[in-house]
A and B are shown apart, each in its own frame.
Chain A
Amino acid sequence: MTNVKILGAGCANCKRLEQSVRRVAEARHLDLTVEKVTDYAEMMKWNILQTPGLVVEDKLVSAGRIPKDDELARLLVPQA
């Protein structure tokens, strides 16, 4: 099971990113847990400058934007 974290303090784009992640996961049958990180001190571990941040298996893969579904599908597969 892949662990996915969404970094952001509840802004509109953070919610949209979460929806996108869930939609892509369902469409492509990805097995993942989605966790929301809303605490700034916590999310700064990934050294982001823009929210929402997307973290897959502890690795920051995008920040400050909402990737398109096909890109998201690629990002949600953890890199070795």
Chain B
Amino acid sequence: MNSSAPLPVLPDRPHTARAFALVALAAVAWVFAYSVVQPLADWLAYGLLGLAQGSPLGASVAFFLYDVPKILLLLSGMIFVISVIQSFFSPERTRAFLSGKRQGVGNVLAAALGIVTPFCSCSAVPLFIGFVKAGIPLGVTFSFLIAAPLVNEVALVLLFGMFGWQVAALYAATGVTIAIFAGALIGRTRPERFVEAFVFEGMAGAGGLVEEKPSWVERLRAAWQSTREIVGKVWLYVVIGIAVGAGIHGFVPEDALAGIMGRDAWWSVPAAVLLGIPLYSNAAGVVPVVQALVAKGAALGTVLAFMMAVVGLSLPEMIILRRVLKPRLIATFIGVVGAGIIFTGYLFNLVLPR
């Protein structure tokens, strides 16, 4: 761009042009940084530290030095883009859109909206009550509550970065499918019986929050803020996850895990799911470990089932939901979603080429 020519900015919107210029500049810097990660990591591991190529320690260190900056760059870049997209969705708009939708079509829409609507599990209870009071069927609400944490942006970015887009897309598609069917199934069990009474008491408060439509500057600023927040929250998980993964890469022999986590070990899928439920981590910590396990002979279906159980059925979220759901319904929730995840694990192990 010719810097001496005045930028064609509208007089009342100078900030918009400046914000977009900043984003473009950051994008260029990002692409440059991403392209030097690999040579820099190799130089650091084999040149500066003088580790032998192909040695276990050399392989581990090179893997770590390459993957940490690569994944952190991917995370920050893609979370920013996703946050901008999410600024067009809000729980309020999703609720307005879903209210009046029946079971069936509602489950499909709710699961899809669960991916793009910004959601924090700490808001699960107000969101649940708000949806129910707006007349959204319980089964549809569950489809949303299952999809939102299961198919989250951090999980998708990490799967994309470490396994490629096919696996990320497969994960997203199955996550949504599980959310649709699990929600529809729960909706048929007359779950109203097992929802705490206060949820239905009183009418929906009048109005709620009416936010003005944000300008582009506000969208970009909010996206930047949420990128910093998300990356700030998960970077340590990424580093630890990649460190564990790097250790596995360097020191665990090839195919060591084929026996216990391979596709022929039929019990490994339910075992992985049972193990995943009490574990509380986020996708950022799990994916690097999972990737290393696959490299050593674990079956992809088994480890994806493990990951889904960790992020989709977390114990803390169940404890939060206990405020509005009776134990019976929480058990149904875990049972139905867990069964869906186990089924998916077997399906992947069956159909994916090794």
The residues of A with any CB-CB pair to B shorter than 8 Å are: 9, 11-13, 40-41, 43-51, 53, 60-65
Contacts and interface: CB of A to CB of B under 8 A. Distances in A.
Contacts of A43: 126
Interface string B121-136: 0110111011101000
Interface stretch (B75-83, B101-109, B202-210): B202-210
Given A40-B129, A40-B323, A47 B208 contact: yes
A16 to B, nearest CB: 10
Contacts, number: 69
A14 to B, nearest CB: 8
Interface of chain A: mostly helix, strand, loop or mixed:
mixed
Given A41-B201, A49-B95, A60 B209 contact: yes
A51 B123 contact: yes
Nearest to B323: A40
B122 A47 contact: no
B204 A49 contact: no
Given A41-B201, A63-B209, A64-B91, A49 B123 contact: yes
B5 interface: no
19 contacts: A9-B122, A13-B122, A40-B324, A41-B198, A41-B202, A44-B126, A44-B129, A44-B130, A45-B202, A48-B130, A49-B92, A49-B95, A49-B130, A50-B123, A51-B122, A51-B126, A62-B209, A63-B209, A64-B123
Given A9-B125, A40-B323, A43-B126, A50 B208 contact: no
A49 B123 CA distance: 7
B209 A48 contact: yes
Contacts of B209: 47-48, 53, 60-63
A32 to B, nearest CB: 20
A50 B125 contact: no
Contacts of A60: 208-209
A68 B184 CA distance: 40
A13 B126 CA distance: 15
Nearest to B197: A41
Nearest to A62: B209
A12 B123 CA distance: 11
